[in-house]
Amino acid sequence: MPFTDQIIRYGSLSVVGLGKNTGKTECLRYVMERLNQMQKVTAVTSVGIDGEGVDRVTATPKPEIFLEKGMYFTTVASYYTSKRFRAEICEVLPYTTVLGKMVTARALEKGKMILAGPSDTSLLQNWVREMPQKYPVDVCLVDGAISRLSPASPAVTESMILAVGAAYSLNMKTLAERTRFIFDTVHLPVAGGSLRKKLENITRGIRGITAKGEITDPGVESALLPAQVREVLEKCENRIYVPGAVSNALLKTLAGGKEAGKTELYIRDFSRIFAEPRVFYSFLREGGRIFQLFSTRLLAVCVNPVSPQGYNLNSVELVDRIQREVDIPVYDIKKMEG
């Protein structure tokens, strides 16, 4: 894979999908194989449950995950004990998920593994930061959960790959437009260094930003309702910081303001945007601007032209259609393997 060198440089990667069965696990397997061929030591975990042979919802076959000798992995203890290859436990983690205790281990030979790691963003962040400190790990890999982009937040990993597939939509135009939306949110401009330092430790409540860059507190905890947004604008002029979710209501209210063209919205990162694409772009067309405190690197888009129901999109056309929308490489992993 041409961007493997970039993965090594960033040291951590999330693979996330637009939806279920979009090719995320296949992409992760490909990355793992290539890094192993380069003799790089990887550590891998999953936000959901990954590596099962059959999908629990669709009852269709799923690509299984095979670990190579020397790889580190984190999963729940019950899955670890059911493995059929030799491995050594390095650590029993001090917290418990809904599936039970988790362990970090090292594979002593190649084997199939079901992964189910921490689903909490802060725990994932700790895992990515601590693995290279504790063990000789070159790259940390995180398998994201269905329709969740938070594992790709800059708070967790330095880079990401987006998996797009026919399971999300059989309409190429829809797939291309949705991919472009993710691409555009990931590439929102980054706030200036001095302002970023003032805001980065504020994780709750809304803040105003004066023309001189001073931070003010309007006393409003949430910006989910239009009335709350209007109250913030009345007290904070046209520059506000929202550390939580960026909703349709927030962007619609900002776009409908008298000075929408002068409005600057500051958010933590792209994964906080839950507004619909049409609302997002409407705000930008009105002249509004969105800045993020932290950014990640979207290295590539991987497509899966086959849906679980057996429908097939033309791989070449799908890759070309999406490639025209984004300024990063677009691949069909299966074609590359062939």
Residue 79 has pLDDT above 60, yes or no: yes
Distance CA(143)–CA(116), nearest Å, equals 9
pTM listed for this prediction: 0.89
Q: What is the mean pLDDT of residues 175-192?
A: 95
Query: Are 85 and 101 within one domain?
Result: yes
Query: Are 54 and 133 within one domain?
Result: yes
pLDDT, tens digit, 9 for 90 and up, residues 281-302: 999 999 999 999 999 999 999 9
Instruction: Give yes or no for a contact between 15 and 163, defined as CB atoms under 8 angstroms apart.
Output: yes
Looking at residue 170, what is its pLDDT? 92
Query: Are 260 and 301 within one domain?
Result: no
Looking at residue 103, what is its pLDDT? 96
Q: What is the mean pLDDT of residues 154-167?
A: 89
Residues 6+ apart with CB under 8 A from 246: 265, 267, 272, 273, 274, 275, 290
Q: What is the mean pLDDT of residues 254-265?
A: 86
Structural domain that includes position 272: 193-292
Residue 2 has pLDDT above 80, yes or no: no
Residues 6+ apart with CB under 8 A from 296: 152, 153, 154, 157, 158, 159, 160, 186, 269, 270
Provide the mean pLDDT of the chain.
88
Within a 10 A sphere around the Cβ of 318, how many other Cβ atoms? 22
DSSP bridge pairs for 338: none
Query: Are 97 and 13 within one domain?
Result: yes
Domain boundary (261, 277, 292) is at 292
Residue 52 has pLDDT above 70, yes or no: no
Query: Are 218 and 155 within one domain?
Result: no
The CATH number given to whatever domain includes residue 268 is 3.40.140
- In the chain, % helix, strand, coil (3-state, to 5) comes to 35, 25, 40
The share of the chain scoring above pLDDT 70, in percent, equals 91
Quickly state the pLDDT bin for 55 (edges 50, 70, 90): low
Q: What is the mean pLDDT of residues 138-143?
A: 95
Q: What is the mean pLDDT of residues 113-137?
A: 91
Write the burial class of residue 111 (CB in 10 Å: 0-12 exposed, 13-18 middle, 19+ buried).
middle
The CATH number given to whatever domain includes residue 168 is 3.40.50
Choice among 14-23, 85-94, 157-166 with the minimum mean pLDDT: 14-23
Query: Are 95 and 37 within one domain?
Result: yes
Please give the single-letter amino acid code of residue 314.
N
Alpha helices per DSSP H over the chain: 4-10, 24-37, 77-81, 121-134, 172-186, 193-199, 226-236, 248-255, 277-285, 315-323, 333-337
Residue 334, both tokens: 């299966």
Say how many domains are in the chain.
2
Residue 149 has pLDDT above 70, yes or no: no
Distance CA(145)–CA(152), nearest Å, equals 10
Quickly state the pLDDT bin for 96 (edges 50, 70, 90): confident
Query: Are 282 and 310 within one domain?
Result: no
Q: Which position has the higher pLDDT, 231 or 317?
A: 317
Looking at residue 322, what is its pLDDT? 97
Looking at residue 147, what is its pLDDT? 52
For the chain, how big is the Rg over CA atoms in Å?
A: 21
Query: Are 42 and 167 within one domain?
Result: yes
Q: What is the mean pLDDT of residues 187-216?
A: 92
Distance CA(267)–CA(172), nearest Å, equals 30
Choice among 40-54, 112-126, 132-146, 305-319 with the minimum mean pLDDT: 40-54
Query: Are 23 and 123 within one domain?
Result: yes
Quickly state the pLDDT bin for 246 (edges 50, 70, 90): very high
Looking at residue 174, what is its pLDDT? 95
Choice among 22-31, 228-237, 281-290 with the minimum mean pLDDT: 228-237
Looking at residue 144, what is its pLDDT? 79
Find the Cα–Cα–Cα–Cα dihedral 121, 123, 128, 134, rounded to 10°: 180
Residue 275, both tokens: 């507004």
Looking at residue 150, what is its pLDDT? 65
